[in-house]
Amino acid sequence: MHYLNNDIWFPNVNQATSEGLLAVGGDLSVERLVLAYKSGIFPWFDSEEPILWWSPDPRFVLFPEKLKVSKSMKQVLRNKDFTVTVNQAFKAVIKECAKAKRNGQESTWITKSIIDAYIKLHELGYAKSVEVWQDDALVGGFYGVDLNNGVFCGESMFAKVNNASKAGFITFIQNTDYKLIDCQIYTNHLESLGAEEISRNTFLEHLKG
Q: What is the pLDDT of residue 110?
A: 92
Q: Structurally, what CATH architecture does the domain formed by 60-207 represent?
A: 3-Layer(aba) Sandwich (3.40)
Q: What is the pLDDT of residue 168?
A: 97
Among 162, 165, 163, which residue's Cα sits nearest to residue 131? Answer: 165
Q: Which residues of 11-37 are buried (b: 16+ CB within 10 A; e: fewer)?
A: bebeebeeebbbbeebbbebebbbebb
pTM given for the model: 0.94
CA 184 to chain centre: 7
3 state SS of 124: coil
Contact 157, 189 (CB under 8 A): no
What is the gyration radius of the CA atoms in the chain, in angstroms?
17
Q: 205: which residues sit within 8 A by CB, 6+ positions away?
A: none
Q: List the domain boundaries for the chain.
A: 2-57, 60-207
Q: What is the pLDDT of residue 47?
A: 83
Among 26, 59, 24, 27, which residue's Cα sits nearest to residue 40? Answer: 59
Q: What is the pLDDT of residue 103?
A: 54
Distances (CA, A) of 147 to 99, 102, 111: 26, 27, 23
Domain boundaries 2-57, CATH class? alpha beta
d(CA 63, CA 40): 17
Per-residue pLDDT of the chain (209 residues; tens, 9 = 90+): 799 999 999 999 999 999 999 999 999 999 999 999 999 999 999 888 999 999 999 999 999 999 999 999 999 999 999 999 999 999 999 999 999 875 555 556 899 999 999 999 999 999 999 999 999 999 999 999 998 999 999 999 999 999 999 999 999 999 999 999 999 999 999 999 999 999 999 999 999 97
> Residue 117 half-sphere exposure, CB side, CA atoms within 13 Å?
18
